[in-house]
Structure 1
């Protein structure tokens, strides 16, 4: 959840324009549902916490500029501000402070890529082209991000596309340098194993 998701809603637009109650009721209901749904589905509670804090500040600022009243935007603004504050009180008792996440609590991946980034990108594109992962129905950016997360690398979109472009610019007959080397090395390993087995007979 982006921290400004709530403040970019129709409800915020209506209260900032001091819209009449008949026009704002549905927007308020949608605003409330967004908060409840985000609370239930919060994969990262810190993001929801930041969004609620930001919304509270913006709501308070709007409240200070609107005239007090029982109808129209002012009334719904009070309700929204009360709702956000109540949700914040509840959420803050459940979300540990960011400082509580010590480095010792963050486990490094058990395996890390020690080859070059271009070599990894070459493997990822090959696997995707072969349809070995999700039958090839992948977004290459998401695929590279997944492999990076599993192997201790941060692979940005620009890294991915630049590496692929570099591969396409190669002048050799075969442009898959790393895959060719992998095939060669694996065949040599099997040949060595065959030789060892023959020697034991």
Structure 2
């Protein structure tokens, strides 16, 4: 794969992570994310048009795996922006109805695209030469009208549908999390089984902050869709700890002259030592 394309993808993810750290307001964050992703996609288009794929397999891989990663982010953030801007004012019952209606809208897309959805999710590739090669469209394959208005130098008949599937997965997760948050606000009793013992974080707050940012950067929660703020509040809740100004703490961690990932480095070293201790009984 072209190194320029890899760099564009890496830079985009880093920029989106950065604005997630810096912007708490969902609407403003979505607006900035859309702006950044549109620019990244335009740069991606320029790279593809100026260069040539080495083989049909490389072209298929790009339009099936790479381009949808960019397009799906635009679809996702634009959808969340619309959802939040249209959100009604009201209590939990009104909000639950609103978010549930949005989930129903997502289901209608899956119902309409069920055949291709099954093809993509099952990992099939026998029709990839029709779906993901430029100029190889088949009008019998349930094409959407928008395809005929796209730039055929940078589009195939189904790369947008892949992006839509990826985006809808994240939108569904977003909506389900919103509903869970509403449920949690409306009840004082936890429905899940309580552990027999209470765990306390006895390490430093700086160490927990370092771990918090590492997990968020890795996308370890909710397929990478969880906000840093939500993860921080979750940590504070389960450990009954106040992380304070954790963003400022992160800047202090970044400013370290030696071993900026001190806690994570220590975790790695101690875990490797444990693994190497063949006499340990688990």
Alignment TM-score, normalising by the size of structure 1: 0.41
Structure 2 length-normalised TM: 0.30
Bigger radius of gyration among the two: 1
